Structure 1
Amino acid sequence: MAFIWHLTIVEMKDNLLVTGTVLKHKTSIDKQPKSILRNFWNVITSYQKKPYKTKLITLEMESKSFEIMTSKRGYFFEILPVKNLKDFRLYDHTHNELAIHQFHPVYFKNLETPIEVVSDIDDTVIHSHTASVLKRIYTLLFKRPKRRKKVLFSNSLLDFLDENQLRIFYLSKSESNLFGLITSIFRFNEIPNGALFLTPYLKFKSLFKPKKGNHKLRFLHQLLTNLPDKSFILIGDDTQKDIDIYTQVVHTFRPQISKVYIRQTGFSIDEIQTKKWEALKQTGIPCTYFQDEDDIDLEIESLKQLLNL
């Protein structure tokens, strides 16, 4: 039987963004291992599930239904011409109902506040060591969710934005295999809830040579295009391509970008990072290159003035 592993539905201005992953067999989503060995096993087995590939699933509501095709990795992404979704059901290609068991929220309403927040996860919200493939894999395998540490500056900033009822989107290059692990880390660290966008399912060997394309850019383009009346705060780090992506987004959607935050992950900034940071600053958008020990209270006061909060 098919099984919804991850589902995120976001209200836009005039439509809905629907994305997620379908697997072939039901499996436990809530990953709260009691030992390092169990954590190791949970992560390894999450790369051995079989995706529900190239099959039609159907989203039904009171007056409409939509057919959505999954990819060869069981992944789906659709923009549907519906303003809001009240009661709905999902069915597989044989019209068996797909149960939704995830603990993380599924549906994210369009809030009245004029500002939205987009944040990376790995090394922006939680320490993940993505600059090194081996360190990242070691952290995934041997660090239980309750042992994973959050980035204090970023989380204090997100807490403030969440308290002011700004909707948060978490946009990560992490693969859908890790949905249960990531949401467990969020609960242990009391990280504010938000729509969770992950890349398609991977096989374990792909961890060493991941090919994830322009996933972040694609989602950002959809969010900003379909929320033209909103402005955005972008939060990322300097370990992967966040600075490049955010600079490109600023050039394309400049009137919609209120501020960009980049976390400095190392003790120093090298020549490449410096050039990328200068390119971002030259866009003229307010931006902050922060370190973990920076004064968050001072930054929040500055942000209040910028956003009139």
Structure 2
Amino acid sequence: MSLPLTRLLRKLLHVAAKPMRHSQGKDGCVIHAYRGYGSRSEVFLMGRIFQQPGSRSQLAPGAGRDLMDVARRMLRWGKGGVEVDVSLGDNCTTVTTDRDGYFSVHLPLTSPLVHEGQWQTAQLIARPPKQAAVEGEAQIYLPPASTRLGVISDIDDTVMHTGVANKLKMLYRLFIESAERRMAFPGVAALYQALHEGPDGQQQRPLLYVSRGPWSIYEMLEIFFQHNRIPVGPILFLREWGLTLQRPLPKRSEDHKQALIEKMLDLYDEMQFLLIGDSGQHDPEVYADVVRRYPGRICAIYIRQIGDSDSRKAELATLSEELSVLGCDMLLSTDSLDMARHAYANDYIDAASVEMVRAEIEHQYSDVAA
């Protein structure tokens, strides 16, 4: 086997073993909590309790330990019927994991929080039957009370290239390609940072991300966002694909994206929202339906065009005209700079941010050319 291929395989092995390293190689139950979100009156959180076998504590760091960790990751399973105590300040609740080990938390905030920060830390205690209790933490995002505009963005082929038109390439990029090699669309980081900060640089607007991807790539996406300096936010996946011994087939995802968006609109009922997606799936149609169902709540829609046919372009143009009558702009473009210009024209960002988007695009294209 050639040396470059050997290095590639070792790197992929190291990436695949990462979730087990985060659990410090522990046996028994492990808590994996995902970022939550909420308001000053209620918060939402999701996570999973795993039962994982074996120990590799005697193995030195390297390929051998990574191989053992990958094997343990494949053999671990979600543990159902586990009670999980959740507390945020003096607000507490207890939930129970489902048969696949997932738990979902809706916690009303009846007691005031200690501090007013955007990111709050919830304490978790899992109590598996006949085992010692396991402790963990979860980060929960609460937007500032003064915020009047939020951003809801798709991820796949909106923030990063996944190639939904080519299913094999999409699966490779989702599950195999390292986070550092996943390419963000030019200008996305600067655009999203500008939308987060607002025209005065102080808005700290919520950026909420949705995806059709499975929970198993959550950590990979976190690395991708950090590597590309894209503002983080709760990453809300639409379905659990399974890929486990318990559930080898993916769950259906119809209507899940719209349900999540509407849930966020109901939660943040004093905000307007900017929706960002792509033309490769059904984002324009889903977003348009949200506009119809929530008059005046969606200020604009940005759709990144991905290799559309002439008939698809005609459909989108007709949809854009319909939404314009309803008072919502739908911008169709392949370029983040067009989105930045529209955002500036509508006072979502400042003029300097437009130039930052332009400079980032030029820099990314020069790197590709080099």
TM (norm. structure 2) is 0.69
SS of 1:194's partner is coil
Partner AA of 2:214 in structure 1: E
Match 1:173 to one of 202, 206, 212: 212
Residue aligned with 2:78, SS:
coil
User: 1:110 matched to which residue of 2?
Assistant: 143
Q: How many correspondences in the alignment? A: 293
Counterpart CA distance in 2 for 1:156 and 1:63 is: 38
Give how far 1:222 is off: 1.2
Alignment of 1:70-85 (within 5 A): 70-82=97-109
CA contact (8 A) 1:46 1:177 kept: no
Deviation at 1:108, TM superposition (A): 0.9
Which of 331, 338, 362 is 1:288 aligned to? 331
In the alignment, the residues of structure 2 paired with residue 143 and residue 305 of structure 1 have an alpha-carbon distance, to the nearest angstrom, of: 34
Structure 2 equivalent of residue 278 of structure 1: 318
Structure 1 stretch displaced more, 16-25 or 208-217 = 208-217
Q: Where in structure 2 are the equivalents of 1:2-41 lying within 5 Å? A: 2-12=29-39, 14-25=41-52
Q: 1:216 aligns with which of 227, 248, 257?
A: 257
DSSP 3-state at the match of 1:174: coil
1:66 and 2:103 are equivalent in the alignment: no
Structure 1 pair 134/67, CA: closer, same or farther in 2 (3 Å)?
Answer: same
Q: Is the 8 A contact 2:141 2:234 kept in 1?
A: yes
Structure 2 residue identity aligned to 1:188 = H
Deviations for 1:4-58, whole angstroms, at most 9, x for unmatched residues?
A: 323222122521122233333399xxxxxx99xx8xx97x986664123343322
Matched, 1:186 2:186: no
Match of residue 136, structure 2, among 99, 104, 107: 99
Residue of structure 1 equivalent to 2:301: 260
What one-letter code is carried by the residue in structure 1 that aligns with 2:301?
A: V
User: Matched residues in 1 for 2:134 and 2:249: separation?
Assistant: 36
1:70-106 deviation per Cα after TM superposition (whole angstroms, max 9, x unaligned): 3333333343221665564212134713324xxxx82
- CA RMSD, 1 decimal: 3.4
Task: Summarize deviations over 1:281-309 as a string: whole Å, max 9, x none.
Answer: 413311111113754553342232799x9
Match of 2:195 in 1: 161
The whole-number CA distance in structure 2 between the counterparts of 1:88 and 1:109 is 12
AA of the residue aligned to 1:21: R
Change (3 A) 1:18 1:185: same
Moved more, 153-162 or 250-259: 153-162
In percent, how many aligned pairs have the same letter? 21
Quick check: 1:131 aligned with 2:165?
yes
Q: Rate the CA distance shift 1:125–1:293 in 2: closer, same or farther, 3 A.
A: closer
Q: Secondary structure, in 3 states, of the residue corresponding to 1:239?
A: coil
Rg larger for:
2
CA distance 1:76–1:282, shift in 2 (3 Å): farther
Per-residue CA deviation, residues 149-196 of structure 1 (Å, 9 max, x unaligned), is: 101243332121122221110111111111111111111111111111
Structure 1 runs not aligned, ≥5 long: 28-33
Tell me the distance in 1 between the aligned counterparts of 2:249 and 2:91: 43
2:280 to 239, 242, 250: 239
Q: Which of 195, 211, 214 is 2:234 aligned to?
A: 195
Q: Higher RCO, 1 or 2 (CA under 8 Å, sep at least 6)?
A: 1
Query: Gaps spanning 5+ residues in structure 2: where?
Result: 1-27, 55-61, 115-120, 199-203, 354-370
CA contact (8 A) 1:116 1:232 kept: yes
